[in-house]
Homo-oligomer: A and B are copies of this chain.
Amino acid sequence: MRDGTRTRARIEAEALRLFAERGIAATSIRDIAGAVGVAEGALYRHFASKDELARTLFMDGYAALARRIQAAGLSGEPFGMIVEKVIRIFCELFDENRPLFSFLLLSQHAFLSEVARDASANVVEAVAEIFRRAMAEGAVAPGDPDLVAAMALGIVAQPATFTVYGRLAGPMSARVPALARAVLLAAGAAAPAPMRAGPAIRVV
């Protein structure tokens, strides 16, 4: 028989690209099949439905990010290092696989309610867990970890969204120090390290 794993990978790549560009609803099965260069029916050898295809792409990408963030959070390093590491993970994945991140940002509203509330599959939960531990250890001023997690996610995700829309230019990786510094300050972290390079954001 022919090897289906290559076709499946191409379907996933083209679907991701088209979903990210136009959205799920505006992308038809024929669009995807055409981009891959197969007949419509071929897609149903690999995915039960269009919905399952979109859901699989979202859940896999989202869980992979959550796992990496959780692992960084459990590394035992000081809080400031963890924040920078997590933001670096986010930014480098963004730069490496922009269609995936566009897709995650764009279609989060369709799937987020179905994601398990587990730090190993849920980005929000993984980030909240990091702040919960930091507060318990005194590295961050006490407060609502969910609120601080939301603000931290916003600080990183909104510039990513602006980059997708072309309002910000250049790689996200270049912004890691600025974003990490902003997150530490906004979260009320104890004595954030001074910035090492780049256009300084001076705190008077």
Contacts and interface: CB of A to CB of B under 8 A. Distances in A.
Interface in A175-204: 175, 178-179, 182-183, 185-188, 190-191, 199-204
Output the residue of A105, A106, A153, A162 with the most chain B CB within 10 A: A162
- Integer count of this chain's copies in the complex: 2
Given A124-B167, A141-B201, A142-B199, A182 B186 contact: yes
B186 A155 contact: yes
Contacts of A61: none
Interface string A141-165: 1111011001101111111011001
A87 B145 CA distance: 20
Interface of A is mostly: helix
13 contacts: A23-B110, A141-B202, A142-B202, A143-B199, A144-B168, A146-B162, A150-B159, A151-B179, A153-B158, A154-B155, A182-B187, A185-B186, A185-B188
A109 interface: yes
A186 B156 CA distance: 12
A112 interface: yes
Given A182-B187, A185-B186, 4 more contacts: A143-B201, A146-B167, A150-B167, A185-B203
